[in-house]
Amino acid sequence: MIVAFSGWSDAGEAATGALTHLLENLDPRTSDSDAVLIAEYEAEDFYDFQVNRPMITVDDSLVRNINWPSTQVYGLSTPDLDNDFVLVLGVEPSMKWKTFTSLLLDLADDLEVEMVLTLGAMLADAPHTRPISVSGSGGHPDIAARLGVEISKYEGPTGILGIIGDGCLKRGIDCISLWAGLPHYASNSPSPKAILALVNAVEDFLEISISLADLAHQAKEWESEVSEMAEEDSEVSEYVKALEESKDAAEFKDVSGDEIARELERFLRRQNEN
């Protein structure tokens, strides 16, 4: 089960953008039309409409429709991969988080979900000209050690992803969180480069190859646009240079064989797909 919500944990719409991309490209032999809507939350039970207002749309026939904030759960059969997938995409609920989480994990139990992977994005002191870092963490030392990720040491306010992770731990379901760190001075939505980083992180963690479509091209265009913006302001330009120096120094110091191996494995998977 892969989960992403708009709102507090979705800087630059990176998490929901990545989930949407996965919904459409998770298996190159399927399409988004192959995903089946298997559940949807009742909007009035979990959302404050003054916080997340319904949206009016008008179709080509000038017929008005109201789209309510909600969360949808899709099932996607991928016979050529080791697992099928449950994809959860929605708006972070405003209330009844315990009930919301319990319903989602009841469904996960019914569908025999073996692992939950949550996607998030936050603002960080990072330069837009370098690869966007994605951190993977588990909520328990045993899970983190077994699945090869860091143990989460975060303390402070949390969003619905934190509640879902805690619920998974109590039910004995493995749960891993992937978080992308976006440049805080370039947080305009959406951020294709951050979306790409999360998609690549999912590829690496699941050891699969996912079609990028034109996502890489969009990421380059986004970086060029942010660079032009930064060049127009000398203070921002100097700040970016300082971030680049700091990032380069840290990466040179911390680079590991595992990181190089992940890049090589991703390249080889794509070659095999081709």
The string of pLDDT tens digits covering residues 59-118 is 889 999 999 999 999 999 998 888 999 999 999 999 999 999 999 999 999 999 999 999
Residue-level pLDDT at 231: 87
**Among the listed residues 103, 93, 101, 104, the one whose alpha carbon sits nearest the alpha carbon of residue 47:** 93
37: region left, alpha or beta (phi > 0 left; psi from -120 to 50 alpha): beta
Q: What is the pLDDT of residues 121-157, one digit of tens each?
A: 999 998 998 999 999 999 888 988 888 899 888 889 9
Kindly report which listed range (36-50, 107-121, 247-261) carries the lowest average pLDDT score. 247-261
Element (DSSP H or E) covering residue 71? strand 71-76
Instruction: Please answer whether residues 110 and 136 qualify as being in contact, where contact means their C-beta atoms are separated by less than 8 angstroms.
Output: no
Hey, is 90 helix, strand or coil? strand
Residue-level pLDDT at 234: 85
Residue-level pLDDT at 20: 96
Residue-level pLDDT at 38: 95
Determine phi and psi for 54, rounding to 5 degrees.
Answer: -60, 150
Q: What is the arithmetic mean of pLDDT over 243-248?
A: 85
How far apart, in whole angstroms, are the C-alpha atoms of residue 250 and residue 194?
A: 20
Residue-level pLDDT at 256: 57
Compute the CA torsion angle 217, 135, 149, 158 (nearest 10 deg): -130
Dihedral sign, Cα of residue 227, residue 182, residue 261, residue 248: positive
Residue-level pLDDT at 245: 86
Tell me, which fold does domain 2-273 have in CATH? Rossmann fold (3.40.50)
pTM above 0.85, yes or no: yes
Residue-level pLDDT at 272: 66
Q: What is the pLDDT of residues 164-222, one digit of tens each?
A: 999 999 999 999 999 999 998 887 779 999 999 999 999 999 999 999 989 999 999 99
Residue-level pLDDT at 249: 81
What residue segments make up the domains of the chain, in order of their start? 2-273
Per cent of the chain over pLDDT 90 is 64
